[in-house]
Chains A and B, each alone.
Chain A
Amino acid sequence: MEPLGNATTTARNQTATPRRSKSYGYSRRSLGVELASRFGTTPGHLTAVRVTTNRGIPKPRNLNDQVDPEHIALLVKKEWKLSYVTPLYQFRHTQLKSYSKQLATFIVTEKQKGVAVEIGAETGFKVVFTALLGLAEGEDAETVFIQIYSKPVFATNGEAAKVVWSGWLSCIAGEADFLRSLPPDFTCLPLFGASGAESLTALVKSWFGKTFDCQFGPLAINSTSLQWLAALWTACNPDVNIRYLKLAWIIPAQPPLDVSYTVHSQDAWELWNSIQQEGGLKDKVDIKEVTRFIRGLESNFFCHFRIHLSAGSLIKVSTSLGSAHQDGKIRISSSDMMRSILSLLTECALLKMPI
């Protein structure tokens, strides 16, 4: 395992050097990015990926043409707990069948070792790896979806095995420079989402770690990313009705005070539009506009309740298209904006990754 680890670091150090000077050109603090949360986990190291300060307004696209609707349905409506993953060594999309068997064997062995995992009768137990083709673009590796099936302990004979755990590894619109700079044996799928028993999540992570020499870490969604999501969702309201924009803060009072502010979609969009019109560029969104939008909502709240929301922290953003929580839990309710949410989260994961 050692030489592989070294390979990763040297490879990435080479690519990191030229871009480092680029990102030093301006102050990160001025971009509204919390230095502490971006670099808190890796003191002394800089991330090779640049913090985005502007994005295109996502155009809702009908993914059904490119991706199998059944595959989309797998990602929609569930709540996913996110993690970041370092690049996988010698992962092959052509080997998914064999991975299915290996992971199943691994889980069964761990169970026999006495690890408390509820997987029911071993006959109905199986693991399925699927590639969700069509979601990826450009340099991205195709998304991989994993399902663990199991029969309940007291199942009747005819009963089919149920999905007890599902998860996926994805990379949507990852920074092309970074992806290209990886050595050929590495596949970058930095975003990992899991739904199901924590004990199974831990086993899947440890199998991936052993097999592909990668590391997992918790992916919290910081308030800047939540603000981005709020703005991008609002911006697409004319195309897809978001129905409402709900922001939730927690104020550090004693006892802690939860404040939620749900704004009518049309009114939220008009506020957004008034800010965008002054900005000039119609199809691009700048971080400054995002900040002004959130301040605009916070100040309207302040004029009514005289409570400084900035004293607390933004912890959740939701619309009818989906929701994202600061602790790294997301829910995607519609395929319309799926790719843009995943690309934002891919970026978060790449930034969080220790180098």
Chain B
Amino acid sequence: MDDSAKQLLRLIIRRIPSNKLYSTLRKWEHLSKKQFESLDFTQPKWLICDNLLSLCEENDLSAKHVTELELIHRIEQPTQGAWHVCQLIDAQEEALTSDLLQFRESFKLHLKGLISHVAVKIKKHEDDAIWIRIAWGDNFTKPNHLKPTYVVHHLQTPYVFLSGLNVKHKPLLHQALVLATHHESIKDVHLSGRCLTALRDLLMRQYKQVFPVKHPRPLQERSPLLTHPNIENEHAKHAENRLQMASEVFGDGTLPKLETALYKLETRYRGKERGTMGAREEPFRGVVRFSSSNILESLKYCTSSGMAAAPVTPLLSSIVQKGRNYFVITDKGPGLSQTPGPKV
């Protein structure tokens, strides 16, 4: 084990919280059962780290094995960084039959064909997701293990989730992904957030949806404190309708967790102060940002409570329907249209 590998191991151990250390190391399959049992997890971290280092020396492990440990840790902690989503388009026939083994070989081959100094680690997670850790170097430097890129992909789906990717490496990674998954091209879907599972659920519609019904649900039993039954009835009907509408748009139950939504407005002024502004041809430029611990829940609440007027504007429902949270809005013809936005 060389010095850089030792340093990397120390860094990774430092990053893993003490209470997670046991479970993470157990999943790392490079220590024998006896060796693992010899580690005392009640000791301070630095001491565990020292013991672990000597075990690694014993087993003749290298940086490659150490990075696997970080990959395991990252899989356990998917909310550590921001994730961006890309979509693979135009699948070829082989795309449907490719398996992990094929993908692994082909991805590594293509990426290494594009850039010489790169370290790739691929691991399959329990939920069939493929996790890829890439450490980038360039022509003259060794791969930098301190700033790796993470890629998560489910085979046979068009979505790829990326974290920690810089602009320089983007085209390389995109090309390797397109070739390895047998697709024609890849595009940014303008969706980002910290919670990986939420992004996946949103795109794959794995949340509880509500479909329009012709006959509204029967009213629930009201409490006896009625001021006037007709007024109460009327209010309850409205509230029911709003809730139904909000659920149709945003879904029901626990909604996927998105933190932000960003709109770049390049539309004409539509507000009340029409005066000279109404006649103005140029767009009224602005940027609107919604943020909350869960914007879909917040927006649903706004709609169901009446703080947002009915019906829900396509701008907001597009977050769910199109699976995006970045939009550029322009005037095109009479209606409101949304352009795909600049390539990020």
A: residues with CB less than 8 A from B are: 251-264, 267, 270-271, 274-275, 277-278, 292-293, 295-308, 311-312
Contact = CB atoms under 8 A, between A and B. Distances in A.
Contacts of A301: 271, 288
A254 B297 contact: yes
B270 A251 contact: no
Given A257-B295, A300-B269, A274 B290 contact: no
B298 A304 contact: no
Given A254-B297, A267-B284, A259 B271 contact: no
B293 A307 contact: no
A253 B277 CA distance: 32
Nearest to B276: A274
Given A258-B289, A304-B267, 20 more contacts: A251-B298, A253-B292, A257-B292, A257-B295, A257-B298, A257-B301, A257-B302, A260-B289, A263-B284, A267-B282, A270-B277, A271-B269, A271-B284, A296-B272, A299-B270, A300-B269, A304-B263, A304-B313, A304-B315, A304-B336
B301 A253 contact: yes
Given A255-B298, A261-B288, A275 B307 contact: no
Contacts of A304: 263, 265, 267, 270, 288, 313, 315, 329, 336
B313 A254 contact: no
Nearest to A262: B287
A274 B292 contact: no
Contacts of A293: 273
Nearest to B262: A260
B301 A307 contact: no
Given A275-B275, A292-B273, A308-B308, A251 B302 contact: yes
Contacts of B263: 304
Contacts of B310: 306
Interface of B: 263, 265, 267, 269-273, 275-277, 280, 282-295, 297-299, 301-302, 305, 307-313, 315-316, 329, 336
A305 B298 contact: no
Contact of A306 (B272, B293, B313): B313
B302 A300 contact: no
Contacts of A300: 269-271, 284
Contacts of A258: 289-292
A264 B316 CA distance: 22
13 contacts: A253-B292, A253-B298, A253-B301, A258-B289, A260-B288, A260-B289, A271-B277, A275-B275, A292-B273, A302-B271, A304-B265, A304-B288, A305-B313
B302 A253 contact: yes
Nearest to B265: A304
Contacts of A256: 292, 298
Contacts of A302: 271, 309
Contacts of A252: 307
Contacts of A277: 275-276
Given A270-B277, A271-B284, A277-B276, A254 B329 contact: no
Most buried by B among A263, A267, A275: A267
B115 to A, nearest CB: 39
Nearest to B293: A255
A261 B271 CA distance: 14
A263 B312 contact: no
A298 B309 CA distance: 14
A299 B295 CA distance: 22
A91 B279 CA distance: 58
Nearest to B267: A304
A278 B289 CA distance: 31
Nearest to B311: A306
A208 to B, nearest CB: 39
A305 B285 CA distance: 15
A263 B286 contact: yes
Given A301-B288, A306-B313, A251 B307 contact: yes
Contact of A299 (B272, B297, B315): B272
B270 A303 contact: yes
Given A255-B297, A274-B273, A274-B277, A305 B286 contact: no
A35 B168 CA distance: 57
A256 B297 CA distance: 9
Contacts of A292: 273
A27 to B, nearest CB: 24
A262 to B, nearest CB: 5
A275 B273 contact: yes
